[in-house]
Amino acid sequence: MFKEFILDDFENSAKNLEILIDENKKELEELLKIEEKTYDNFVVPYQIMGERLEQFCTPIFHIDSVKNSENTQKIYDECLPLISIYGSQLSSNEKVYTAFKDIQSKYNSTLNIEQQKVLENEIRDFALGGCGLSDEKKQELEKINLELSELGKQFSQNLLDATNAWEMIVENEEDVKEIPSSDLEAAKFTDEDGKVKYTFTLQMPSYIAYITYGTSREKREELYKGYNTRAPQNGQLIEKILKLKEQEANLLGFDNYAKLSLATKMAKTEDEVINFLYELAKYSQDKAHEELEEVRALAKEDGVDDLQSYDLAYYSQKLKEAKYDIDEEYYRPYFEKDSVLNGLFDFLYKIFNIKFNIVDAPAWDEKATVYEISENGKPTARLYVDLEARKDKRGGAWMNNWHSHSLIDDKQQLPTAYIVCNFPTSSDTSPSLLRHSDVVTLFHEMGHALHHILSKVGQPFVSGINGVAWDTVEFPSQFLEYFSYDKDVLKMFAKHYKTNEVLDDAAIDKLIKARNFQSSLSTIRQIEFALFDFKLHQELYNEEQTQELLDTIREEISVIKPPVYSRFQNGFSHIFAGGYAAGYYSYKWAEVLSADAYYLFIENGVFNEQLASKYKEIVLGKGGSIDMNELYYQFASRKPDIKSLLKIDGIIS
């Protein structure tokens, strides 16, 4: 029923990919010979070909992220140009483009909504892929796409290599006296002379531990500087990436890459995005200044008169503890990784009537676990979960889709997906104990996974997250995050790993009250990133001008400026090595949807069966088959209100 995660003949992946691509090309030639092309005899087999290729490539590229090595890099580098060239050639194939338009023209009125959406998306994407261009310009576009793929991979690899190469040794016990015991134990080692020392790295669990609790201001800056000056060679890559994206946009008839990006999004104009971000900033800036002044006042009591970016997490944590009496370390024994995950499964069963059961199936690491999802006793999906940090894993957290739900010719394909995080590592003597922020991250990625694996759409190209506008794809993930602060939900899994004692009401109330701690500062930071990203793709910038643009936005928007040596952009993989170019605003755009949706649950009850069923059926079940603005209206019977987000974040009352 499910394809197992076994990379047969991994060493020959490129060779096998070539064979598969050749098979697809031959099959496409045969399809194009059909005189009377219809949806069933042309579009359906075309989708099956695309799915087949996606299912072959996804594990290969996934392995490079979760078990990175020289060998996985080599195989990735061999496969990337093959898939990039094939994708480029296919997306500019005039005959396929014409076939889709003819089918739409002749048969659209006889097709269902899903089928109509597949045609609509494909015709749009073929136009964006270069159909209508001269052969010379198509070749130019193909070359650009290949180079962009290679530069994105190089950007990401540079970042991973720089992260893994850097470490900070701390010898003075005074400098680590505030580090939580579990983090300190993970950092501890004994040198060859028998002296106990501590290693801190740029891996997220380690970085967060010292930047938040490290007593030494000098060491905090050393760590911060190491993180924010990683991969300086990426500065030149950014310049090349921006130039190529500008060329791509111009070739396709757009003034800039921002306009090209919006062609596939819910937001339709540049002004709509810019105005949206400035409106959020207008509501948030004054309160962000107030929040920062609170931190400055506390730092001054400690003799720090010039609060810097590398001080912010440290003194913010002290302020948070003072305001809410919250000690992150107190909570971590209640958030043991497996307990949290199983509790999340219990919650999802209660709200969506879906069950998660461990299955004995191969994965890429001994700590990656495979689950089968069932609804009403029937298996409906499979989920791979890999939560702990390790050196050969790319940093951050993400969801990857592998198979998409489909129902073609009475043959059902069940969906599969991966959830990957970088939580503290467990050992034979100590479990993986999470911060509440880690719990939020897990809920977030599970929201993405549910969006894909609960799809009931029959056409694979618009099933799950496929075909969902990029600026709304974060909606289901952010929506699920809110439940990680609900008292009844927390009580389902917040249990001490030694005593099984449930986290008490007072401690939970503190967490809930602290949720909006520095929410305005956080919002301003996200707006800074989003404006930088969007404006960066409206004009052409070189490396120096890129920094100048970021500095200008910070002068206008931000309330605290980083040190002059900071080169945040060189690590901004979301837009230079991911899919968020001219789309980072999507996080906030989608957050308006998620906040407004959650308000319905606040008003009607967290475990409201009817409302949850409606959300599952409409928002999750219909995937990308209908535009999200229409789906949202079907679900909520109203348009989303930006003030819902501002209220939930405590920015307005």
| Distances, alpha carbon 175 to alpha carbons 169, 188, 197, 226, 295, in Å | 11, 13, 11, 18, 21
| DSSP designation for 110 | G
Q: How far is the C-alpha of 197 from the C-alpha of 187, rounded, in Å? A: 8
Q: How far is the C-alpha of 471 from the C-alpha of 594, rounded, in Å? A: 12
**Strand runs labelled E in 93-174:** 167-170
Q: Are 645 and 477 in contact, with CB atoms under 8 Å apart?
A: no
Q: Which residue has the tokens 């209640």?
A: 334
| Distances, alpha carbon 390 to alpha carbons 10, 68, 153, 424, in Å | 22, 10, 20, 9
Question: Which candidate in 445, 528, 543, 591 is catalytic?
Answer: 445
Single-letter residue type at 67: K
Give phi and psi for 106, each to the nearest 5. Answer: -85, -40
Q: Is residue 171 annotated as a catalytic residue, yes or no?
A: no
Single-letter residue type at 582: A
Q: Residue 18, exposed/middle/buried by CB under 10 A (0-12, 13-18, 19+)? A: middle
Q: Element (H or E) spanning 379, and its range? A: strand 378-388
How many H-runs (helices) and E-runs (strands) does the chain carry? 26, 10
> How many other CB atoms sit within 10 Å of the CB of residue 95?
12
Q: How far is the C-alpha of 7 from the C-alpha of 363, rounded, in Å? A: 10
Output the 3-class SS for 247-315.
HHHHHCCCCCHHHHHHCCCCCCCHHHHHHHHHHHHHHHHHHHHHHHHHHHHHHHHCCCCCCCHHHHHHH
Residue 272: strand, helix, or coil? helix
| DSSP designation for 41 | I
Q: Which residue, 405, 359, 394, 333, is CA-closest to 621?
A: 405
> How many other CB atoms sit within 10 Å of the CB of residue 372?
18
Residues serving a catalytic function are 445
